[in-house]
Amino acid sequence: MFDLAIIGSGSAAFSAAIAARSRDKSVVMIENDKVGGTCVNVGCIPSKALLASAHMAHLAQNNPFVGIDTCCKEINFKKIIADKDKLVKSLQKEKYLDLAKDYGWEIIWGKASFTPGPLLQVQLKDGKSTTIEASHYLIATGSQPWIPPGIEGIQDSKYLTSTTAMELEELPKSLIVVGGNYIGLEQAQMFSRLGSKVTLIEMEDHLSPNEEPEVGKLISQVLHNEGIEVLINTTVESLHRQNSTTITATLDTAFGQKKITATHILMATGRTPNTKDLKLDAIGVKLGSKGQVIVDNHLRTSVSNIWAAGDVTGYPQFVYVAGAHGAVVVDNALSGKKRTLDYKHLPRVTFTTPNIAAVGITESQAKQQGIDYVSKILPLEYVPRALVNRDTNGLIKILAEANSNRILGITVVAENAGDTILAGSYAIRAGMTVDDIADSWAPYLTMSEGIKLGAQTFSKQVSKLSCCAS
């Protein structure tokens, strides 16, 4: 019998396994596909590697500095993909397979499902099966792309997802991206900068619909300026694959029906937990309406010795949430602690250019929660770092509680906003007010200084300050 049996081999699974082995507990891990989960194989690592490549191509073609001439010769998509694949394989080995060997746990290759006991029945890759018994079990099976029902012809459309898009060997000549949230935004800009003609479709009235509306309007303009057609308030009614090179999408827009064609279509319409084949009903583990494993604040399921972590729980689908979950499960399951996590200062980032980064709540959420608030927006043209970079496409928005001025949320749209937002996360965790930030030190000519300047807009007219005035 093992102390801990883990289904999956992604961030949550490895975090838990390392924590358990560090306590000298016995661990076994079951994986049915590739080690590393979504992040290293088809998510964070490969997509951001391709985004970085696309960004370099864009800079070469659109250098903003007078006196420096740059150009981008022909883009070799196959070489870019090969370089991405090389990076992924190296991380699979160094950060996953080698680590499992170093820490001393076995990875069993096969498909796991629960049977009464509870026990795990594993159908091995060689056709045989084995049974695994453990004191505790961790479900860390992640999530997969979700495709909305009701789109006529979608099964015959040969659509791409964020997973299969990472496996392309040829650059799409033209691409329809359905979904204007973080995956759709990143994929649309990436493929456009590499040379695809892109149309981006979002059913809500602004892109990045979970963020502040000002963000969606700004990023929509950025994408439009880069040659991407952006359609909001638009849904896909049907898809018709005419031949191997042409697909027609019939759209329902605010102005009536519209037809567009492309060589490829990418569905970036969300993700769904991987729970379908685990046979959780056989042992009484409860699932939510979206297929997520229901857990309490300690990440325990409805069965006392079964736990869940990461995307499969329905919690925010970030790799750093999954990693934190894995460590919490081990503390609670194997050490008897009752740890919980605070998500109020959880940062979120969309890696477009400019980045979209935020922490805390939005105005819409404040209204829903009945919070009396005030907000201020600082255009990036008042941030010195943006001026010297010759790129003022962006903003900083701060939301504060009306009476106390305590910070409720911060949104940054700017170059390196993903790095900058860490300061906002610390501010919310510490319960800081806008006055606290306005009076704090901030290094001049950094994007993080923008958060201080944004806080100063609550009491000063920043446009009337000199460029380096406090």
**Tell me, what's the pLDDT at 135?**
98
Of 334, 356, 371, the domain-final residue: 334
Per-chain mean pLDDT for the chain? 96
Query: Do 226 and 187 fall within a single domain?
Result: yes
Query: Do 228 and 366 fall within a single domain?
Result: no
**Tell me, what's the pLDDT at 470?**
58
* Mean pLDDT across 339-365: 98
* Mean pLDDT across 214-228: 98
Q: Quick check: 260 pLDDT over 80? A: yes
Contacts of 290 (CB under 8 A, 6+ apart): 272, 273, 314
* Mean pLDDT across 91-113: 96
Of 225, 251, 269, the domain-final residue: 269
Query: Do 59 and 105 fall within a single domain?
Result: yes
Query: Do 95 and 212 fall within a single domain?
Result: no
Query: Do 169 and 181 fall within a single domain?
Result: yes
Query: Do 167 and 100 fall within a single domain?
Result: no
Q: Is residue 470 part of a domain?
A: no
Q: Is residue 14 part of a domain?
A: yes
pLDDT digit string, tens, across residues 6-38: 999 999 999 999 999 999 999 999 999 999 999
CATH number at residue 75: 3.50.50.60
Range of the domain at 12: 2-145+272-334
Query: Do 232 and 276 fall within a single domain?
Result: no
pLDDT digit string, tens, across residues 140-193: 999 999 999 999 999 999 999 999 999 999 999 999 999 999 999 999 999 999
Q: Quick check: 469 pLDDT over 70? A: no
Of 269, 285, 309, the domain-final residue: 269
pLDDT-derived band at 468, boundaries 50, 70, 90: low
**Tell me, what's the pLDDT at 126?**
87
Which strand ranges, in their side-by-side order, compose the sheet holding 355-360? 347-350, 355-360, 407-414, 395-401, 373-379
Query: Do 310 and 293 fall within a single domain?
Result: yes
Q: Is residue 468 part of a domain?
A: no
Q: Quick check: 467 pLDDT over 80? A: no
Query: Do 197 and 284 fall within a single domain?
Result: no
**Tell me, what's the pLDDT at 191?**
98
* Mean pLDDT across 407-424: 97
pLDDT-derived band at 122, boundaries 50, 70, 90: very high
Q: Is residue 340 part of a domain?
A: no
User: Could you tell me which residue, 430 or 42, shows the higher pLDDT?
Assistant: 430
Query: Do 9 and 120 fall within a single domain?
Result: yes
Query: Do 447 and 362 fall within a single domain?
Result: yes
**Tell me, what's the pLDDT at 462?**
79
Q: Is residue 469 part of a domain?
A: no
Q: Is residue 164 part of a domain?
A: yes
Count of domains observed in the chain:
3
**Tell me, what's the pLDDT at 73?**
85
Q: What percent of the chain has pLDDT over 70?
A: 99
Query: Do 10 and 141 fall within a single domain?
Result: yes
CATH number at residue 425: 3.30.390.30
Q: Is residue 36 part of a domain?
A: yes
Q: Quick check: 464 pLDDT over 90? A: no
